[in-house]
Chains A and B, each alone.
Chain A
Amino acid sequence: MLTIKDLYVSIEGKEILKGIDLDINAGEVHAIMGPNGSGKSTLALALAGREIIEITKGTITYQGENLFEMSPEDRARKGLFLGFQYPVEIPGVSMVNFMKTAINEQRKYRGLGSISASDFLKLMREKKELVGLTTNLTNRSVNEGFSGGEKKRNEIFQMAMLEPVLAILDETDSGLDIDALKTVAFGVNKLRRADNATIVITHYQRLLEYIVPDFVHVLYRGRIVKSSGKELALELEERGYDWLNDSAE
């Protein structure tokens, strides 16, 4: 589904990612862990197509196509979803209008007509319940005045609405208490299918107790220094990242 080869990325002239290789197949959950500043979010933004990211070397193939040739909106329409670490507040754009526009743009891209008002409301209700989002979304602007936890749930809610093929969740667990974490994980697990894949970016092993990964990768100073099964997460929890120093140098 996604193949990253020898990826080098800079932001404002500073090299952040230094040769990433990663293969992700349908049905898999990959966890990417690593200390602050290791390049986790940069990788997420490179996948989603943020324009400040400069790709200096390497390739990313997504569903057989060159990802770099696609605009952020086309990537999303082809099923790529980024759950933001810091969801943006957009005063004046209502959640309802935002989601309806997003759903319809996706449908248009797939050659389908606009969703009916009643189907849309039904879908909203269903997905809100799935991710445990109790916030009343009507008459609310996108993320405006949402608490930290609500913002994160709102990301998973949007993911549930858009049913992505490849979801990248960037530190979705930060700022969530344990109950919120469980409901969010429950939502993510519910959305898992044999034909989609998830990349979970996280600091802590905690989330991985609830979203069990098939692979864990450690990103350190812009490179993946270790890849293994889910047991690697536990080891990182116990030993921290310092013991990886040697393998990184």
Chain B
Amino acid sequence: MDIKEDLISLFRQNTDVLESGSGPIINTFRKQAFRDFDRLGIPTTKNEAYKYTPLDKYLQGNYDVELNANPFKVDLQDIFKCDIPELDTRVILVLNGFFYPVEQAGQLPGGVVVCGLSEASSKYPELFNRHYSHYADTSADGLVALNTLFAQDGVFVYIPPGTVIEKPLQIINLSHSFKNLRITRRNLIIAGDNARVNIVVCDHTLCYQSYLANTLTEIYAGKNAIVDYNRMQNENSLSIQINNLFVHQEENSRFTGNNISLHGGLIRNNMYVTLNGPYAEVNLYGLFLSDEKQHVANYVLVDHTLPHCTSNQLFKGILDNDATGSFNGKILVRKDAQKTQAYQKNNNILLTSAARMNTKPHLEIYADDVKCSHGATVGQLDMDAMFYLRSRGIGEKESRHLLMYAFANEIVSKITIPVLKDRIINLVDKRLRGELSRCNNCDIRCG
């Protein structure tokens, strides 16, 4: 059966369950999402943005859905030992798409809200109405419509104006079931004017099942707000991750996203950033290390609407075996966005002749006083550098490792939390050595 028809009938049969399990505002967006999904369906390779990501090939197969929170009792201490003792974070657990309350010591600053999305939609209707589904456009991408159609829960974070959260918030997305599972996650993060927050997102699979996760996150950064968003994708090779990130930035705000894709079957990251106030700055970094038959695709659209904004994009990938990947990045500079500075770079290393990378950096500029650049490379390891290292007695394998590590480190070094950076350096190192990149003591099977 056609995937689209399949999903539409799934929705029709379960509309009541979906709606009774979600907040009222979430439900009001379903009608439009339904129309859009019915019109758009799952994007095919005929769609320019998905040209190199054959989703239909990956989305076949039977998946269960959980429309109610998983009754499975999770003992966080028992299964998830995130052993970065110095990484003092506020842990937010999401199990199969549902917010999972965790008892924690310590108070959050006054007015800060961290709760489930569904709960927030009833408790904070005013905030919710102002932001929910305002940045994610269901009419442009069938997967955005699909997420909005099935959205029930996820994480809601609100940082009131002028509030600084020193401790990073660590959102841990766990997938756990003994059958293949379709998961929908919907997050909303609101940083008020002058607020500051550092968010760490970790994606993990607990069992060796296929998890098809459609995650959508909307982030609002008010005037002068500073939002750091570090994401580490480490899931099993059967898993399929579709991520849509929508960032809306006001005047003089700064958003920094750093996406480290260590492992996964198919990873599709769509990032849409709208610079909606002058002097706003966005930095988007991404690194992926893929092998076997993995596919990692990064799609970026940065929309400069007003003057004096800055955007930086740097995405890198190392592809081994039969891995495939794509980068599609667009900088849109609108007529009024004078004095824009926008840069974009994509560098990739292919370790085998079978690995494939497609890259398409592009600029679309309607203003005349701007500084923009873009560039992309796909190549092999530098043979002159290899010989130089070997001529000093460093073995071939170790020389390759040093060069790959150096290549990856340009992204990792941008992580602003020192202990997290050290840990990711360690995970990248292990990953490049072909070892399972999982944290010590943690029972989670990432590989």
Contacts of B405 in A (CB 8 A): 92-93
B398 and A90 form a contact (CB under 8 A): no
The count of chain A contact residues (Cβ–Cβ below 8 Å) is: 30
A84 engages B393 (CB within 8 Å): no
B387, B398, B403, B410: which contacts A105 (Cβ < 8 A)?
Answer: B398
B406 at the A/B interface (Cβ < 8 Å)?
yes
Contact call A105/B391, Cβ cutoff below 8 A: no
Let me know if A98 and B391 touch, CB within 8 A: no
- Within 8 Å of chain A (Cβ to Cβ): is B409? yes
Q: Which residues of A contact B382 (CB under 8 A)?
A: 88, 90
Minimum CB–CB distance from A139 to chain B (whole Å) comes to 11
- Whether the pair A98, B396 counts as a contact (CB closer than 8 A) is no
Q: Is the CB of A109 within 8 A of B393?
A: yes
Docked-complex contact A77 and B393, CB < 8 angstroms: yes
Contact A48 B391 (CB under 8 A): yes
- Is B390 touching A76 in the complex (CB atoms < 8 A)? yes
Chain A residues whose C-beta falls within 8 Å of the C-beta of B392 in the assembled complex? 76, 98, 102, 158, 162
Q: How far is the CB of A54 from chain B (nearest CB, A)?
A: 15
Shortest beta-carbon distance from B41 to chain A in Å: 43
Known interface pairs A71-B396, A101-B402. Does A90 touch B391 (Cβ–Cβ under 8 Å)? no
B290 CB, min distance to chain A CBs, angstroms: 20
Assess the B396–A93 pair: CB atoms within 8 A.
no
Q: Chain B: which residue is nearest A74 at the CB level?
A: B393
Q: Which A64-97 residues sit within 8 Å CB-CB of chain B?
A: 71-73, 75-77, 81-82, 84, 87-88, 90-93, 97
Please indicate the chain B residues that have their CB under 8 angstroms from the CB of A72 in the complex.
387, 390-391
- By a CB distance below 8 angstroms, the chain B residues around A76 are 390-393
List chain B residues, Cβ under 8 A from A87. 388
A246 within 8 A of B: no
User: B385 in the interface, Cβ–Cβ < 8 Å?
Assistant: yes
> Which chain B residue lies CB-closest to A143?
B388
Which residue from A50, A81, A90 sits with its C-beta under 8 Å from B389?
A90
B80 interfacial by beta-carbon distance below 8 Å? no
* B402 CB contact (under 8 Å) in A81, A97, A162: A97
Provide the A49-61 mask, 1 if CB < 8 A to any CB of B, else 0: 1110000000000
> Which of chain B's residues have a CB closer than 8 A to the CB of A77?
393
List the A side residues contacting B396 at CB < 8 Å.
71, 73
> Among A50, A84, A93, which residue has its beta carbon within 8 angstroms of that of B403?
A93
* Residues of chain B lying within 8 A (CB to CB) of residue A81: 391
Q: Is A106 an interface residue (CB 8 A)?
A: yes
What CA separation (Å) do A82 and B387 show in the bound complex?
11
Which residues of the partner chain A approach B398 to less than 8 Å between Cβ atoms? Answer: 101, 105
A50 touches B393 (CB 8 A): no
State A92–B393 Cα separation when bound (angstroms).
19
Determine the distance from Cα of A105 to Cα of B52 in the docked complex, in whole angstroms. Answer: 42
Q: Are A88 and B384 in contact (CB under 8 A)?
A: yes
Contact of A51 among B387, B393, B406 (CB under 8 A): B387
- Is B388's CB under 8 angstroms from A90's CB? yes
Q: Cα distance A84–B387 when bound, in Å? A: 11
A91–B394 CB distance below 8 A: no
Supposing A92-B406, A92-B409, A93-B406 touch, asked if A50 and B394 sit within 8 A by C-beta, the answer is no
Residues of chain B within 8 A of A102, CB atoms compared: 389, 392-394
Residues B378-421 near A (CB distance < 8 A): 382, 384-385, 387-396, 398-399, 402-403, 405-407, 409-410
Assembled-state Cα–Cα distance A188/B138 (Å)? 70
Q: How far is the CA of A158 from the CA of B392 in the complex (A)?
A: 8
Establish whether residues B387 and A90, one from each chain, have CB atoms under 8 Å apart when the complex forms.
no
Cβ of B393 and Cβ of A90 under 8 Å apart? no
- On chain A, the residues within 8 Å of B384 by CB distance are 88
Within 8 A of A (CB), among B72-126: none
- In the complex, chain A residues whose CB is within 8 Å of the CB of B409: 92
A175 to chain B, nearest CB (A): 18
Q: A71-B396, A73-B396, A101-B398 are in contact. Are A91 and B406 (CB under 8 A)?
A: yes
- Pick 18 A–B contacts, CB within 8 A, sort by A: A48-B387, A48-B391, A49-B391, A71-B396, A72-B390, A73-B393, A76-B390, A76-B393, A82-B391, A88-B382, A88-B385, A91-B410, A92-B410, A98-B392, A98-B402, A102-B394, A105-B395, A158-B392
Contacts A73-B396, A101-B394 given; 16 further ones with Cβ under 8 A? A48-B387, A49-B390, A50-B387, A73-B393, A73-B399, A75-B391, A76-B393, A88-B385, A91-B406, A92-B409, A93-B402, A93-B403, A93-B406, A102-B389, A105-B398, A106-B393
Mark B residues whose CB is within 8 Å of A: 382, 384-385, 387-396, 398-399, 402-403, 405-407, 409-410
Closest 9 CB pairs of A and B: A92-B406, A76-B393, A102-B392, A72-B390, A88-B388, A93-B406, A77-B393, A73-B390, A105-B393
